[in-house]
């Protein structure tokens, strides 16, 4: 880990599966880190593991350089305000919520974009709580960060921490693009699985459908069995983009249905050839990214660059500040 | 294998992956079997394996008790007519096509329901041809048979052959129910995968969607990468039922989208709880089936019984004819 990153004093507030895994990795890496959770049993569990876990939130975050906010998505705006009030203007705050536009808008409305960088580590397991946390959870995972133009200084620090200590790939995006992408890459697939499994459940030949289920049916309904309440909350947390991306998928389905109705083999073949090609991308060839910016320059260019890396399917592998410049390295699809 | 089944003389016409696997298993089991394929190289390959493969179709099927028809779906009606013309009235014919209503209607129009029993073994691999065939392909697979009221005699023989020699589970159904079930359990999932992958392919954030793809996206697009021409032909072969079942799934999606739009958490949770329960069924508890019918009785009762077993998610494990009765055994969901 870089020398700068190693000197940081960090706190993690809300130490469930995600926050707890961040905390465990930072502690394991020798970073000075404190934890806090509203649940006293979780604080006791943290102390049992030899980690500093004050009873008061203020004692956990005061004098920290970086605070990670975990916990349930709806709690994050209030926690952000509370932590911002307990810390100084130079304290960097980031969160781990699964949608970003709402919390980014909240931060802007409260003048916090200069120190709050919305984040979303794309990792998880079926389990929950600090007892399920794993220090290696983020190794090689994608970690979205959504800096504002006035938040590039904290962003650069977080890139170092996320890449060098947490072992993840930083994917910078605007909050809007993030929510659009996850709607299509995660939320709408849950809706389709719910629609297919729901139609099967309501079918008069339900048990025969299950009996004769091909791999396509098992694949297409798998996530319909994840905990119903979590799926429902996830869909509602990104409501507008979920509905918008579902409309796109429905338009594609309309075109497919029309081709089936018209007995139009060439159109169907062309669609599946184009659609099938979408999957291997990203696992394909990548080209290196290397860009240097003047720290005194207009931040718009640097912001546009880092966002373009993530929004085009790439990620950052490093960020070094030295002699008045910042150097970004990364990979993007060739 | 039962003594009766062992005495049968069988032919397989069209020895690609499915027909070839039937042929290999029958040959391996010591059943007297001949093969035929329009492709001379395939006939040569069959002979190389020590199996009787005449050059003339008539020589392969004449004097046979049972003929299996393989080959591409559109070729089956014509092959059925040809084989029926080359064989006697007591020769049983069955096919392996993936949709059943059209070929059943064709057989009825040509007065062949008394000796032709439409079939659909639910097994396959990504490969094709006799060289890819495997004698064990059907072990524990579902094998749909669609007898008519006047086709119960050949049906009983086929149950013995399919269960005792080919090692599959016989799932009796009407042709209409079969096509409805496979539309929902196989064809519509391919449409949904095509819609999702198509929307992703057309998205302005396509590469980022792939980069951040959750398991739900990978599951939901997997079959969009199977050969485009085969997927398209499969969808068109069952056009009416595919469109009808897609409409059912779209209605379920409409209800989900409305709940998302209305921020209606309880409705979403209830839907996913009901939908999620559909998957484990069939892998759940089963109860034994045991029924005896008089061979002289009205066939309507026997036909209704065997169809009800398959259409309720069960299957037959045996069929024994003795002392003027037929005894069916099987399993169905408890």
pLDDT for A297: 92
What number of helices (H) and strands (E) belong to chain B?
15, 11
Residue B292 inside a domain? The answer is no
Note whether A236 contacts B269, CB cutoff 8 Å: no
- Mean pLDDT for chain B? 94
Residue A44 pLDDT class (50, 70, 90 cuts): very high
Q: What are phi and psi of A204, to 5 degrees?
A: -65, -15
One domain for residues A12 and A136: yes
Residue B326 inside a domain? The answer is no
Q: How far apart are CA B94 and CA A138, in angstroms?
A: 55
Q: Picking from A227-231, B46-50, B140-144, B259-263, which range would have the lowest pLDDT averaged per residue?
A: A227-231
What number of helices (H) and strands (E) belong to chain A?
15, 11
Note whether B206 contacts A233, CB cutoff 8 Å: no
One domain for residues B217 and B162: no
One domain for residues A68 and A50: yes
Residue B304 inside a domain? The answer is no
A-contacting residues in B 26-85 (Cβ below 8 Å) = none
Does B183 lie at the interface with A, CB-CB under 8 angstroms?
A: no
**How far A184 CA lies from chain B's nearest CA (Å)?**
7
Residue A284 inside a domain? The answer is no
Residue B318 inside a domain? The answer is no
Task: Decide if A270 contacts A256 (C-beta within 8 A).
Answer: no
Q: How far apart are CA A63 and CA A90, in angstroms?
A: 10
Residue B278 pLDDT class (50, 70, 90 cuts): confident
Residue B123 pLDDT class (50, 70, 90 cuts): confident
How far are the Cα atoms of A12, A54, A166 from residue A76, in angstroms, in the given order?
Answer: 13, 20, 21
Q: Which of B197, B290, B175, B306 is nearest to B241 (CA)?
A: B175
Q: Which of A168, A74, A165, A76 is nearest to A118 (CA)?
A: A76
A-contacting residues in B 88-117 (Cβ below 8 Å) = none
**How far B196 CA lies from chain A's nearest CA (Å)?**
6
Residue A6 pLDDT class (50, 70, 90 cuts): confident
- Mean pLDDT for chain A? 94
Percent of chain B's residues with pLDDT above 70: 96
Instruction: Find which of A232, A237, A289 to mutate to test the B interface (most B CBs within 10 Å of its CB).
Output: A232
Instruction: Find which of A230, A245, A278 to mutate to test the B interface (most B CBs within 10 Å of its CB).
Output: A278
Instruction: Find which of B146, B170, B184 to mutate to test the A interface (most A CBs within 10 Å of its CB).
Output: B184
**How far A313 CA lies from chain B's nearest CA (Å)?**
4
Mean pLDDT of B233-242: 94
Q: Could you say which of A207, A236, A263 has the minimum Cβ distance to residue B263?
A: A236
Does A200 lie at the interface with B, CB-CB under 8 angstroms?
A: yes
Q: Could you say which of B188, B195, B232 has the minimum Cβ distance to residue A249?
A: B195
Residue B284 pLDDT class (50, 70, 90 cuts): low
Joined together, the tokens standing for residue B68 give 């299996």
Q: Which of A40, A186, A202 is nearest to A99 (CA)?
A: A186
Mean pLDDT of A51-75: 95
**pLDDT surpassing 60 at residue A280:** no
Q: Picking from A3-17, A189-203, A228-242, B85-99, which range would have the lowest pLDDT averaged per residue?
A: A3-17
Residue A263 pLDDT class (50, 70, 90 cuts): very high
Domain that holds residue A225: 178-276
The DSSP 8-state label assigned to residue B224 in this structure reads: G
Residue B181 pLDDT class (50, 70, 90 cuts): very high
Q: How far apart are CA A28 and CA B72, in angstroms?
A: 61
Sheet-wide strand order for A286-294 = A119-121, A142-145, A169-172, A315-322, A325-333, A286-294
Residue A2 inside a domain? The answer is no
State the CB neighbour count (10 A cutoff) for residue A327. Answer: 14
Note whether B198 contacts A274, CB cutoff 8 Å: yes
* Chain B residues in contact with A311 (beta carbon < 8 A): 205, 208
Residue A174 pLDDT class (50, 70, 90 cuts): very high
Residue B104 inside a domain? The answer is yes
Q: Could you say which of A189, A196, A278 has the minimum Cβ distance to residue B189?
A: A196
One domain for residues A55 and A185: no
Note whether A189 contacts B246, CB cutoff 8 Å: no
Question: Which one of B137, B158, B173 terminates a domain?
Answer: B173
**pLDDT surpassing 60 at residue A66:** yes
One domain for residues A62 and A207: no
Mean pLDDT of B74-92: 96
* Chain B residues in contact with A333 (beta carbon < 8 A): 207
Residue A57 pLDDT class (50, 70, 90 cuts): very high
Task: Decide if A256 contacts B229 (C-beta within 8 A).
Answer: no
Residue A191 inside a domain? The answer is yes
Task: Decide if B59 contacts B86 (C-beta within 8 A).
Answer: no
Note whether A191 contacts B225, CB cutoff 8 Å: no
Mean pLDDT of A159-183: 97
Residue with the two structure tokens 């620090």: A157
Q: Which of B21, B245, B58, B82 is nearest to A253 (CA)?
A: B245
One domain for residues B86 and B60: yes
Domain count, chain B: 2
Does A236 lie at the interface with B, CB-CB under 8 angstroms?
A: yes
Q: How far apart are CA A219 and CA A222, in angstroms?
A: 5
**How far B217 CA lies from chain A's nearest CA (Å)?**
5
Q: How far apart are CA A307 and CA A309, in angstroms?
A: 5
**How far A179 CA lies from chain B's nearest CA (Å)?**
11
Residue with the two structure tokens 């042929």: B23
Q: How far apart are CA B36 and CA B13, in angstroms?
A: 5
Question: Which one of B145, B173, B201 terminates a domain?
Answer: B173
**How far A267 CA lies from chain B's nearest CA (Å)?**
9
pLDDT for A1: 46
Q: How far apart are CA A242 and CA A98, in angstroms?
A: 13
One domain for residues A12 and A106: yes
Q: Could you say which of A229, A261, A272 has the minimum Cβ distance to residue B224?
A: A272
Q: Which residue has the higher pLDDT, B73 or A158?
A: A158
- 3-class SS at A88? coil
Percent of chain A's residues with pLDDT above 90: 85
Mean pLDDT of A215-224: 91
* Chain B residues in contact with A186 (beta carbon < 8 A): 212-214, 216-217
- 3-class SS at A46? helix
Does B297 lie at the interface with A, CB-CB under 8 angstroms?
A: no
Note whether B243 contacts A223, CB cutoff 8 Å: no
How far are the Cα atoms of A279, B207, B317, B318, B331 from residue B140, in angstroms, in the given order?
Answer: 32, 41, 10, 13, 13
Instruction: Find which of A142, A173, A183, A210 to mutate to test the B interface (most B CBs within 10 Å of its CB).
Output: A210
Provide the CA B176 distance to its chain's centre, in angstroms. Answer: 13
Q: What is the pLDDT of residues A134-149, one digit of tens each?
A: 999 999 999 999 999 9
Q: What is the pLDDT of residues B54-70, one digit of tens each?
A: 999 999 999 999 999 99
**Which residue of chain A is at minimal alpha-carbon distance from B125?**
A215
Does A313 lie at the interface with B, CB-CB under 8 angstroms?
A: yes
State the CB neighbour count (10 A cutoff) for residue A167. Answer: 17
pLDDT for B281: 47
* Chain A residues in contact with B250 (beta carbon < 8 A): 195, 250, 253
Q: What is the CATH number of the domain that holds A238?
A: 1.10.3660.10
Does B199 lie at the interface with A, CB-CB under 8 angstroms?
A: yes
Q: Which of A108, A89, A121, A114 is nearest to A12 (CA)?
A: A121
pLDDT for B245: 97
Residue A283 pLDDT class (50, 70, 90 cuts): low
Mean pLDDT of A27-33: 96
Q: What is the CATH number of the domain that holds A58?
A: 3.40.50.720
Q: What are phi and psi of B148, to 5 degrees?
A: -95, 170
Counting one residue from A and one from B, how many pairs have CB atoms under 8 Å apart?
A: 353
Question: Which one of B173, B208, B232 terminates a domain?
Answer: B173
One domain for residues A150 and A237: no
**How far B64 CA lies from chain A's nearest CA (Å)?**
31
Q: Which residues contact B260 (CB under 8 A, 6 or more apart)?
A: A191, A235, A236, A239, A242, A243, B268
One domain for residues B165 and B49: yes
pLDDT for A127: 76
**Which residue of chain A is at minimal alpha-carbon distance from B311?**
A208
Looking at the DSSP assignment, which residues form a beta bridge with residue A290?
A329
Note whether A276 contacts B219, CB cutoff 8 Å: no
Mean pLDDT of B121-132: 84
**pLDDT surpassing 90 at residue B325:** yes
A-contacting residues in B 251-270 (Cβ below 8 Å) = 251-253, 255-257, 260-261, 263, 265, 268-270
B-contacting residues in A 159-178 (Cβ below 8 Å) = 171, 173, 177
One domain for residues A144 and A234: no
Q: How far apart are CA A105 and CA A226, in angstroms?
A: 30
One domain for residues B230 and B161: no
**pLDDT surpassing 70 at residue B49:** yes
One domain for residues B217 and B126: no
pLDDT for A276: 87
Note whether B184 contacts A171, CB cutoff 8 Å: no
Note whether A311 contacts B281, CB cutoff 8 Å: no
Q: Over the Cα atoms of chain B, what is R_g?
A: 22
Sign of torsion over alpha carbons A183, A187, A193, A195: negative
């Amino acid at each position: 880990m870089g020398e700068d990153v190693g000197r940081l004093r960090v706190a993690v507030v809300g130490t469930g599966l995600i926050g707890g895994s961040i905390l465990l990795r930072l502690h394991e890496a020798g970073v000075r880190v404190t934890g806090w959770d509203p649940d006293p049993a979780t604080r006791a569990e943290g102390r049992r593991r030899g980690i500093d876990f004050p009873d008061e939130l203020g004692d956990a975050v005061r004098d920290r350089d970086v605070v990670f906010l975990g916990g349930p998505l709806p709690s994050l705006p209030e926690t952000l305000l509370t932590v911002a009030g307990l810390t100084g203007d130079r304290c960097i705050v980031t969160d781990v919520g699964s949608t970003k536009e709402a919390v980014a808008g909240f931060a802007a409305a409260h003048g916090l974009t200069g120190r709050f960088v919305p984040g979303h580590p794309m990792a998880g397991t079926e389990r929950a709580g600090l007892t399920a946390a794993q220090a290696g959870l983020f190794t090689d995972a994608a970690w979205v960060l959504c800096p504002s133009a006035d938040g590039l200084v904290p962003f650069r620090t977080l890139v170092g921490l996320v890449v060098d200590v947490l072992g993840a790939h930083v994917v910078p995006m605007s909050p809007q693009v993030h929510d659009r992408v996850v709607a299509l890459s995660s939320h709408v697939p849950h809706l389709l699985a719910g629609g297919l499994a729901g139609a099967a459940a309501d079918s008069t030949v339900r048990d025969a459908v299950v009996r004769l289920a091909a791999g396509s049916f098992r694949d297409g309904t798998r996530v319909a069995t994840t905990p119903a309440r979590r799926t429902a909350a996830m869909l509602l947390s990104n409501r507008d983009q979920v509905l918008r991306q579902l409309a796109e998928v429905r338009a594609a389905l309309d075109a497919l249905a029309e081709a089936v109705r018209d007995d139009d083999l060439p159109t169907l073949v062309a669609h599946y050839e184009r659609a099938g090609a979408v999957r291997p991308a990203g696992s394909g060839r990548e080209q290196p990214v290397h860009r240097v910016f003047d720290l005194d320059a207009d931040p718009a260019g640097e912001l546009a660059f880092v966002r373009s890396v993530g929004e085009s399917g790439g990620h950052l592998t490093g960020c070094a500040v030295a002699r008045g410049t910042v150097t970004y390295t990364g990979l993007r699809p060739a």
